[in-house]
Amino acid sequence: MRYGRHHTQTHLKLTEIKKMHQQTLSFVIPAMNEEATLGPLFEGIRSQTRKLGKRLEVVFVDDGSTDSTWQRMRDIADAFPEEVKAVRMRANVGKARALAVGFERATGDVVFTMDADLQDDPVEIPRFLQKLAEGYDLVSGYKQTRHDPWHKVLPSRVFNKMVSKLNGVELHDHNCGFKCYRSEVVKAVKLQGEMHRMIPCLASIEGYRCAEIVVTHHARQHGVSKYGVKRFARGFFDMLTVHFLKNYKDRPLHLFGGLAAV
């Protein structure tokens, strides 16, 4: 009997290892006017994925670019048709909608999101997978050392502390675009407006476990940032929306009745 249990456990472990090696990694990458960075980013992702022995799927989403970003995406997709999908939005619809479109087309067992500006480093990919293997459903990057102007860094840190306190998901960097998900998470979370910053909180509402790892953040070498001060005001309202969904979605009168009573 003892031998039988040991044999069964070993078989299950070997099956799990085999399944991990057979995984497909999907990378959903929205981009707006990032023509110079797509080639190097794809090569970095492809190099890391091949080292890991995983199958690769990259879903590029052009979010209304006015330069040659779309043509560059098409060139890469034509050169690697089994690994790359290119999707074009007819107008600039925003990062959340672009991610949602990419999530719909992603078929991998594990889904990564990365910004297209080369500030996220593909070398970190194995570390995300290691953390995910500890039993988490979502792993978010934490840009502990940031190479951004202070007027972006300071409001972002204040915003992150507010989100963690209000919505109960303790992360240093909810804004980080470098994240890793089990596929069921991206299929369960519905994005609208500019809720891409709130994905960990939305996932937590559905019962998924979130974790965080410190990642390298590079200074931008090409193009310009597409995000201005307005995003923090919008992020504040998104934060309140998630707080409502978490605490009052099934009992809205508890909130509005309480306010009316006050």
| Whole-number pLDDT of residue 5 | 40
* Stretch (H or E) spanning 83: none
| CA–CA gap between residue 249 and residue 100 (Å, rounded) | 22
Residue 209's pLDDT is 92
pTM assigned to the model:
0.77
Could you report the per-residue pLDDT of 15-33, keeping only the tens digit for each?
Answer: 544 455 579 999 999 999 9
Q: Beta strands 84-89 and 55-63: pairing type?
A: parallel
Do the beta carbons of residue 106 and residue 114 sit within 8 Å?
A: no
Distance CA 210, CA 124 (A): 17
What DSSP string runs through 6-69? HHHHHHHHHHHHHHHHT-EEEEEEEESS-TTTHHHHHHHHHHHHHHHT-EEEEEEEEES-SSSH
Q: Which CA distances in Å does 92 have to 38, 118, 157, 188, 219?
A: 18, 21, 27, 24, 25
The two tokens of residue 261 are 């009573």
Q: What is the pLDDT of residues 134-147, one digit of tens each?
A: 999 999 999 887 65
**Tokens 């990694």 — which residue?**
25
| pLDDT attached to residue 11 | 47
Determine how β-strand 110-113 pairs with β-strand 179-182: antiparallel
Low-confidence ranges of the chain (pLDDT < 50): 1-14, 16-18, 228, 248, 254-255
d(CA 106, CA 28): 7
- Structure tokens belonging to residue 62: 């052009």
Output the pLDDT for position 8.
44
Instruction: Supply the pLDDT for residue 32.
Output: 95
Tell me the one-letter amino acid at 70.
W
What pLDDT score does 261 carry? 61
Torsion, Cα of 87, 90, 91, 94 (10° steps): -30
Q: So what's the pLDDT on residue 242?
A: 58
The SS3 call for residue 224 is coil
CA atoms within 13 Å, Cβ hemisphere of 238: 24
- Per-residue pLDDT at 2: 40
Residue 65 structure tokens: 């670019």
Give me the torsion for CA of 238, 209, 213, 191, rounded to 10°. Answer: -30
**CB neighbours of 182 closer than 8 A, spacing ≥ 6?**
109, 110, 111, 132, 137, 138, 208
What is the amino acid identity at position 243?
H
In this predicted structure, what is the pLDDT of residue 67? 96
Residue 171 identity? L
Backbone torsion region of residue 207, taken as left when φ is above 0, otherwise alpha when ψ lies between -120 and 50, otherwise beta = left
